[in-house]
Each structure stands twice: as C-alpha cells, then as structure tokens.
Structure 1
Amino acid sequence: MRSQLATHAIQPPAYTRATTLTLASGAGFAVASIYYAQPILPLMQQELGLGIEQVGLVPTLTQFGYALGLFFLLPLSDRYDRRQLIGIKSIMLALMLLLCSLSGGIGSLLLTSLLIGITATLAQDIVPSAAILAPPQRQGKAVGTVMTGLLLGILLSRTFSGVIADHLGWRATYQIAAVIIVLSGLMLWRQLPRFETHAKLSYPALLRSVGQLFVRYPALRHAALAQGLLSIGFSAFWSTLALMLSRHFHMGSDIAGAFGLAGAAGAIAAPLAGGLSDRIGSAKVTQFGAALVSLAFAAMFALPWLGTTAQLVLIALSTVVFDFGLQMALVSHQSLVYRLDPNARGRINAVFFTTVFVGMSLGSLLGSQALAMAGWQGVVALATLSAALAFALRCKASGQ
C-alpha cells in the first residue's frame, strides 16, 4: 500500500506524574459512562415499567454503541490531532449523559444509551496517548498506570451510580456524570500537547486499513478475540448482578454497586501486568490472566450448596479474582498490540477494542437471556465457558 501514515507528537513535554494522573482520571471518567446503568437497571425497570429483556437492552446498546464508535471514530486519531478529538468527544459525551437523564420512555433511553456508548470512546483516545508520550522503556508501565484509572472507572462506576441512584434517583447519576466529564475534558485540554499527524489516507481508506491490520497481524487477531471472549463473561456477570441480587437477596442498587468495590481491588493488576509484560513478555501474562478468570467464574457453580452469607462472600471473592485476571490480560494484550505498528496505534486500538466491546455487547444480551431462561447458574455457565475458550485460544497462540 503506497499511502503511508506517519504520526508524531510535536516535542511533547516531559511525561510527568501530573500527566499520568490526568490521563488516568480522564480515561476512568469517560469509560465509566457506559457502566453507570448496570446497578440501577431495577430502578429504571420500575419507573418506566419495563421487562427484564427490555431493560437488558440498555447495557447491550451502550456497549454496542461503544463498539461502533471504536470502529468508525477511533481510526481518526491516526489522521487528526488527538487533543482536538478528545475535546470534541468530551463535549458530546457530556451532552448525551444529560439527554439520557431526561429520557421519558424506552425509546429515548435506548437511543441515548447507544449515543453514550459511541461518544464514550473518548477513553480509547486517551489510553494510547500514554504510549505516545512516555519514553519507549516506560511504555508498558505508562499504559498500565493509565489503564488502572480506566479499570477503576469501570468498577467504581457501579458503586457511584448505585449509591447516587439509591439516594437521588437514577437520573441524578447521569446528570452528575455529565458535569464530571466537562471538568475532566478541560483538564485534558490543558495538560495534553498538540499531536501533529501527517496522513495520506482518506477516511474510507483508513477504515479499509483497519481490516487489513486484522489480517496482517496474527498477534492482533489472537489478542482481540481472546479479550473479546473474556469480555463476554465479564459483561454477562455485571449486567445481570443487580437484577439477581434484587430478585434473590432483595438488595437495592446501592448494594449491587458496592460489589464494584470488590472488583476494584483487582485494579492493582494493571500496573503489575504492564511491568511484567515489559520483563517476561505479554503472552505468559495473558495466559495466567485468562486462567484466573476461568477459575473464578467456575467457583460460583458452588453457590446453590452454600448459605446466604457464604454465597455473598463467594460472589465477592470471585469478583476480586476474575477482575484481577481480566485486567492482567487486558493490559498485557494492549502492551502486545501497541508494539506492532507505532504509526497505526489508533487503528490497532480500533481493531482490538471493537472486538472487545462486541464481546461486551454479546455478554449483556446473552447474560440477560441466560438469567431469564436458566437463572444465575446459566449466567455462571456462560461466563465460565467464554473464559475457558479465551484461555484455550491464548495457549494455542503461544504454541504457534
């Protein structure tokens, strides 16, 4: 292909702790937007008079929107100034969060959920900035640190939305989140340098090259597919947890959100995985992470034979372990794929995370169906199977 793309930053300032914190918090606040709904689905269901299958479409469409945004918008960061894209998306995401809070029925709720997912891809414009700005010998650690912020955003978003919704209503969750995104966007605009790009590819050619990258790099295919499989189980668990706790334990949205604190303990895996990937290679770390996820989900098959307290303890412990494993796999996969082609990080990120969030969307859809048809054990079976397939894929890829 004659058309080439060369991307570099205009003499960026030193990669400081302040830059790291700004990127980490920005990524966390942005990605949190697609998870706020999960613990407050029972409140939405009650207020709007929805069934389980209907309310289950809220996280499904949000994550599907994220996948669409990743594929169609993320490649633009290889063509346009990443700083400007971050600013525009911050404004649009805040607006979509506000509009969602004003939803009066299932139609507007689903539409704004889809648009929140599309604009929340802001998070994936932020993460590669760490790899671009950090010195080469610190890229793994830098990505891991920023991913800690992103992953804490994913996990603590449920605690935040559960507590706020329980006291102020589910609409207040989105309104407060909109204000946070505006403030975060301003911080990013002030901290980040301007990224200069020299692109010779048209937008259609840019999109075509996304598919070409998927074909060209087997390591990218394996990483994306394995992380997508892990995401099916992750999403199935989190998108049905609040409904299960409400039905079987009569617990509110605040308690469902509190389980995010258990999962947040696993966020220490992100910097650990980044450092290990720099030292021993990403392949071994991803295998170990996938194995942990499989074992953690499988442990929940024991729930029917335990008392109520023991059941809740096992769910919390499994949450810590599978989040730890999933985050190790995610950061290690990113460290692996970002090294494949420095001039195509935006498009490589699009391939990787589009696949991941197709898995997330499928997990939400299949998880709600499994809960309706087979109860919580059906969700556990789905999550365990998808994680086991991811582990098998990583083992096969490492053996080639």
Structure 2
Amino acid sequence: MTQHVSRKMTLLLALTCGAAVGNIYFPQAISPLVAYSLGVTPSAAALVVTAAQLGYAAGIFLLVPLGDRLPHRPLIVTLLGLTGLGLVAASTASTLPHLVGAGIFVGITTVIAPILGPMAAGLVAEDRRGEVTGLLLSGSIGGMLLSRAFGGSLGEWLGWRAPYLLSAVIALILAAVLAFTLPHTTPATRQPYPALLKQTIMLLRTEPDLRRSAFNQATIFAGFSAVWTGAALLLTGPTYHLGAHAVGILAFVNAGTMIAAPVAGRQADRRGPDVVNRVCFVAVIASALVLALGALGGTWGLVALAIGTLMLDIAMQSDMVANQVRIYVLRPEIRSRLNTAYMTCAFLGGSIGSWLGAQAHTLFGWTGVCAVVVVLALLPLAAARKQFAQSTA
C-alpha cells in the first residue's frame, strides 16, 4: 500500500543501508592489523573478509525472503540488534577462529539493504520509486566505499577492534531509532518459509536470464573483492610499507563512483543491459592492466592503483545495475525473490574472490591478483560473445 515517506525517512533508510553494507567491507582495510595483533599470516587474516561475505550471501538467501513474509519493522530492528551484538563479539575476539565465526554471524544478520530496498519501493508512489531506489542504492554504495576509509583510518589510530565497536554502536542506535520511526507494513505473502526458499532455488533453474545475470555479477564481484583484499596486503607490505589507513584513503578516492549507478541505469534503458555488460567486462580487464603497474611501487604505483581501482569500481557497479535491470523485468510480482537469488550468487562470488585474492598475493604477489581479475572477467565475456553469436546466427 502506498504511503507518504518523507525525504528525511528516505535519507534515514539510505544511511541504514550504508551502515549495514559497510560491515561487510571495512574488514578489508584492517585485515593486516588483525594479522599482526593475532599473530597469524596476512593471508590467514584475510579469511575475516571471506567470512563476512560468505555470511552475507547466506543471510541474503536465508533471511531476505522473510521481507515478503514478516512485517518489516520488527524484522529490521531485530536484525540490526543482532548485528550490533555480533560486532561486539568480533571486537572481543582473541583468536582468528573466534573472529571468523563472529564475522560470519555479522554477515548473516547485516542483510538490511536488500530488505529495505523492496520495502521502500512498495511504500511510495510509482513516480517516486526511481528516486527512492536510487537514494537507497547510493547509500549502499557509499557504505561500501567509505567503510574501508573509516575502518582503515580508525584501525590504524585505535587498533583493529575499534571499527567493530563503533559499528556496533551505530547499528544499535539505528535499531532504536527505526523501532519508533519505520513505517508499518503488512506481509506480501503468507507462503510458508520453506516454500519461499524453494522458489528462490527454482528461479535459478527456470530463468536463464537470471542465471546469466547472476554469473556475470558473481565473476565481476569476485574480481572486485580479490583486488581490495590484495590491495590491503600490497599497501601494508614491503612494496609500500604503508599503514592500514592507506587502504581507506584509496577507497575514499573512489567515492566519486557513486554517480556511476544512475548513468549505467540510463544506458541500460537506452541500449539494453547486454551492451552495458560487455563494456563492463572489457573495462574490468583494462583496470587489471592498469592495476598491475601498482607493483612498481612509489608515486606512480600509487597513481596506477588509484586509477585502476576507480575503473574497477565503476565497472562493477555498472555491471550490477545492468544485471538488475535485466532481472527486474522478468516477473515483477516476485521481484524480491529474484533479487535474493541474484545477490546470493553475487556475494558467493565475492567471498570466493576474497579468498582467491589472498592466495594469489601469497603465491604470486600483486601481479597474480591482477591475473585473477583478468581470468574472472574473461569468463562472462566469453559467455556473452557465445550468446551473441548464437542470437545472430
């Protein structure tokens, strides 16, 4: 049912999306600090990043469908409260397994953004839906980019536990605020929970365009995650000898990429998502070639890292928008479950990419990470060329 949702409420929801999504990304900046503090190797500490993304993929699959089944206010407030407790548990970790376990829990419960998006779209009139959706997406992208700057700088100043504690405080405050301000909603379906999960799996089997979009995003997001996991190891390693704050500064430089999403959306509307996808695959490969120059070190190496990550971030976000444009027109009545299937695959790819990035850096250095990105981008590009050839035959 359409309600009046004020701009202040929309901004609050966008802030909530950013804070929730940021819990998945700030560990990328502090994993070298975790390695030093807990006495483990940098590649082992990178498991904290993998754990958060793997938990997020599980949370999207297991919890996001509840947005169709339960009233949104108690669901979101409960998840924020649990996220806050999980972050507190992570801040007290004395061993890597403890921190990895807490990271998985935080990842599972911090799936606020993919629940708030469909909820907000259903609360506003059709002529405001694009505006509200765009603001929430900008909040999520801002959280993704700025959380690494926040985590790296705060971790370098006060230690790696500080970002977890401050994020816990933010989550608990937002839970308290939303408990009194979030609009009332009624469930969209009475289907049993197991049926919702089963339908999500069935959609991947029955919708080829959904499978294609999920594969596209899983591979590109894997490359994105590999780069940012490897970048933390590169910048704090012997090539640059910088602190964790350097990862945050590099991420902050890329904050301007938030404008890429609406531009990509307009191009997907005008030219079709397939064209945008192919451009993004080529851009990811080009970004990897630029990023490889980061192994040189020094000023020019840092310039290459800044330009390369900027190219990669824009390509990843644009690819995500194009894929979502494709899946949202498939079956509008179950859009939330389509997005659940899509985002689950995307973050599974991201968690695998984080692991690949850490392993590639350990075995082959920064150039190995860049090679992983190229291979991952070639997979969907080859599939897209094959499909294009078949469609024109």
Q: Same fold (TM over 0.5)?
A: yes
Conserved 8 A contact 1:28-1:150: yes
Q: Which residue of 2 aligns with 1:346?
A: 336
User: Shift of residue 303 of structure 1?
Assistant: 4.3
Q: Which residue of 2 aligns with 1:29?
A: 19
Between 52-61 and 193-202, report the one with greater CA deviation.
193-202
Conserved 8 A contact 2:88-2:168: yes
In structure 1, what is the Cα distance between the partners aligned to 2:236 and 2:188? 53
Question: Match of 2:317, as an amino acid?
Answer: Q
Question: Match of 2:254, as an amino acid?
Answer: G
Q: Which residue of 1 aligns with 2:287?
A: 296
In structure 2, what is the Cα distance between the partners aligned to 1:85 and 1:279? 37
User: Shift of residue 138 of structure 1?
Assistant: 5.0
Change (3 A) 1:284 1:187: farther
In structure 2, what is the Cα distance between the partners aligned to 1:135 and 1:394? 36
In structure 2, what is the Cα distance between the partners aligned to 1:339 and 1:88? 31
**1:198-277 alignment, distance < 5 Å:** 198-247=188-237, 248-277=239-268
In structure 1, what is the Cα distance between the partners aligned to 2:147 and 2:378? 27
List gaps (5 residues or longer) in structure 2: none
**SS of the residue aligned with 2:61?**
helix
Encode CA deviations 1:250-307: one digit per residue, 9 max, x unaligned: 0001112111112222111122223444444433333333332221122223445x56
Residue 77 of structure 2, aligned match among 72, 82, 87: 87
Length-normalised TM-score, structure 2:
0.92
In structure 2, what is the Cα distance between the partners aligned to 1:274 and 1:368? 32
User: Shift of residue 245 of structure 1?
Assistant: 1.0
Change (3 A) 1:190 1:328: farther
Conserved 8 A contact 2:3-2:124: no
Task: Please tell me whether residue 282 in structure 1 is matched to residue 286 in structure 2.
Answer: no
Conserved 8 A contact 2:56-2:107: yes
Conserved 8 A contact 1:101-1:172: yes
In structure 2, what is the Cα distance between the partners aligned to 1:219 and 1:241? 33
Between 56-65 and 128-137, report the one with greater CA deviation.
128-137
User: Shift of residue 54 of structure 1?
Assistant: 1.8
In structure 1, what is the Cα distance between the partners aligned to 2:356 and 2:268? 32
| Count of residues paired in the alignment | 389
Q: Which residue of 1 aligns with 2:29?
A: 39
Conserved 8 A contact 1:22-1:187: no
Length-normalised TM-score, structure 1:
0.91
In structure 2, what is the Cα distance between the partners aligned to 1:37 and 1:190? 31
Indicate the percent of aligned positions where both proteins have the same amino acid.
35
Residue 311 of structure 2, aligned match among 306, 321, 336: 321
Conserved 8 A contact 1:297-1:318: yes
Change (3 A) 1:139 1:216: farther
User: Shift of residue 198 of structure 1?
Assistant: 4.5
In structure 1, what is the Cα distance between the partners aligned to 2:386 and 2:182? 40
Question: Match of 1:60, as an amino acid?
Answer: T
In structure 2, what is the Cα distance between the partners aligned to 1:302 and 1:148? 30
**SS of the residue aligned with 1:249?**
coil
In structure 1, what is the Cα distance between the partners aligned to 2:277 and 2:177? 33
Encode CA deviations 1:222-265: one digit per residue, 9 max, x unaligned: 11110000011101011121111111100001112111112222
Question: Match of 2:26, as an amino acid?
Answer: Y
Task: Please tell me whether residue 113 in structure 1 is matched to residue 123 in structure 2.
Answer: no
**SS of the residue aligned with 2:145?**
helix
User: Shift of residue 134 of structure 1?
Assistant: 4.1
Conserved 8 A contact 1:266-1:320: yes
Residue 145 of structure 2, aligned match among 134, 155, 164: 155
In structure 2, what is the Cα distance between the partners aligned to 1:79 and 1:319? 39
In structure 1, what is the Cα distance between the partners aligned to 2:235 and 2:108? 29
Task: Please tell me whether residue 53 in structure 1 is matched to residue 11 in structure 2.
Answer: no
List gaps (5 residues or longer) in structure 1: 1-9
Q: Which residue of 2 aligns with 1:364?
A: 354
Encode CA deviations 1:35-92: one digit per residue, 9 max, x unaligned: 1211111111111101133212111111111111111111111211233221111111
In structure 2, what is the Cα distance between the partners aligned to 1:84 and 1:343? 23
Q: Which residue of 2 aligns with 1:386?
A: 376
Encode CA deviations 1:297-337: one digit per residue, 9 max, x unaligned: 22223445x56211110110111111111111112322332
Change (3 A) 1:119 1:62: same
Residue 337 of structure 1, aligned match among 320, 327, 331: 327
In structure 1, what is the Cα distance between the partners aligned to 2:371 and 2:326? 30
In structure 1, what is the Cα distance between the partners aligned to 2:257 and 2:324? 17
In structure 1, what is the Cα distance between the partners aligned to 2:41 and 2:80? 32
In structure 1, what is the Cα distance between the partners aligned to 2:377 and 2:94? 38
Between 79-88 and 25-34, report the one with greater CA deviation.
79-88
User: Shift of residue 190 of structure 1?
Assistant: 4.5
In structure 2, what is the Cα distance between the partners aligned to 1:310 and 1:103? 38
Task: Please tell me whether residue 170 in structure 1 is matched to residue 170 in structure 2.
Answer: no
Change (3 A) 1:325 1:25: same
Change (3 A) 1:389 1:188: farther
Change (3 A) 1:190 1:324: farther
In structure 1, what is the Cα distance between the partners aligned to 2:332 and 2:187? 13
Question: Match of 1:21, as an amino acid?
Answer: L
